[in-house]
């Protein structure tokens, strides 16, 4: 397997933490995840047997690179957070949509107890299956366009595979974290992690095919820190 050198940036989404975090000055971490060289070829998919899906895509978007920027990279704080902190999960759901017989986004993350809203935007039956190791699994049927189903999770877990039992090419990756300091890169490869208490942290960048890389990031009491990473094929 080819060795890949990761060069990722770290960003944190703001959310309410307990008293320990609130009493400490906070700063931001920003950056971009890049990919240099020729990305590995994505698997071909055939949707021709499903009229509602046919023509929407011919490859499984495992590795998505646009202008050298790498999408679908989860970046999160893996270590260094204050012991005993209390994090409050957002009540606003994170959305996983099924459109064009693919999952959007490919990789997503929620906090423990935060709602995950699963939507079917296709005029075709989808069956969403999750097989976690620390959380309760589910197998949800959505036969009608416009259907929505909500689920939540009780334990941190990285990463839960999601798939459609009807269309075998449909895959997504769900991370569940017990703090709000995470982000997933979009098409431009960028993300910003805001409101992380001042300190030094171990930050991990995760991609479903390219693997993981960790780095130490020191967040100042005010202002910004950066941590840029780059995957490159050898």
- pLDDT tens digits, residue range 64-112? 999 999 999 999 999 998 877 778 999 999 999 999 999 999 999 999 9
Share of the chain above pLDDT 70, in %: 89
Tens-digit pLDDT profile for residues 49-75? 888 887 778 899 999 999 999 999 999
CB 9 within 8 A of CB 224: no
Cis ω before 159 (30° cut-off from 0) = yes
Token pair 């999770």: residue: 153
- pLDDT value of position 10: 36
What does the DSSP 8-state code read for residue 67?
T
- pLDDT value of position 234: 58
Tens-digit pLDDT profile for residues 25-48? 678 888 999 999 999 999 999 998
Structure-token pair, residue 182 = 């995470």
Q: How far is the C-alpha of 43 from the C-alpha of 37, rounded, in Å?
A: 18
Q: How far is the C-alpha of 196 from the C-alpha of 209, rounded, in Å?
A: 28
Q: Kindly indicate the confidence band of residue 24, based on its pLDDT and cuts at 50, 70 and 90.
A: low
CB 101 within 8 A of CB 52: yes
List the domains of the chain with CATH numbers: 1-79+182-234 (2.60.40.10), 88-178 (2.60.40.420)
- pLDDT value of position 23: 52
Q: Report the DSSP pairing between strands 148-151 and 26-36.
A: unpaired
- Name beta bridge partners: 5: 232
Return the number of other C-beta atoms located less than 10 Å from residue 98's C-beta: 23
CB 73 within 8 A of CB 107: yes
Binning the chain into helix, strand and coil, the percentages to the nearest 5 are 0, 50, 50
Chain-centroid distance, C-alpha 200: 23
CB 64 within 8 A of CB 106: yes
Range 191-215 average pLDDT: 90
What order do you get walking across the sheet with 102-104 strand by strand?
102-104, 94-99, 116-120, 148-151
pLDDT at 173 over 90: yes
**Rounded to two decimals, what is the model's pTM?**
0.86
Q: How far is the C-alpha of 104 from the C-alpha of 119, rounded, in Å?
A: 10
């Amino acid at each position: 397997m080819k060795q890949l050198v990761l060069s990722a940036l770290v960003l944190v989404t703001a959310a309410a933490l307990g008293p320990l975090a609130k009493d400490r000055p906070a700063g931001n971490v920003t950056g971009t995840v890049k990919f240099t060289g020729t990305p590995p070829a994505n698997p071909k998919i055939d949707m021709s047997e499903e009229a509602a899906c046919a023509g929407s895509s011919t490859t499984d978007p495992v590795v998505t690179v646009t202008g050298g920027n790498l999408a679908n990279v989860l970046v999160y704080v893996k270590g260094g957070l204050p012991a005993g902190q209390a994090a409050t999960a957002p009540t606003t759901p994170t959305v996983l949509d099924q459109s064009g017989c693919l999952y959007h986004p490919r990789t997503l993350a929620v906090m423990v107890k935060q709602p995950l809203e699963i939507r079917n935007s296709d005029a075709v039956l989808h069956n969403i299956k999750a097989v976690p190791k620390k959380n309760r699994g589910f197998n949800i049927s959505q036969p009608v366009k416009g259907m929505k189903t909500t689920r939540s999770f009780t334990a941190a877990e990285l990463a839960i595979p999601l798939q459609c039992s009807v269309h075998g090419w449909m895959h997504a990756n769900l991370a569940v974290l017990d703090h709000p300091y995470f982000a997933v890169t979009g098409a431009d490869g960028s993300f910003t992690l805001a409101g992380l208490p001042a300190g030094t942290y171990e930050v991990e960048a995760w991609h479903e095919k390219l693997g993981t890389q960790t780095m130490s990031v020191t967040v100042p009491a005010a202002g910004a820190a950066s941590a840029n990473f780059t995957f490159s094929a050898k």
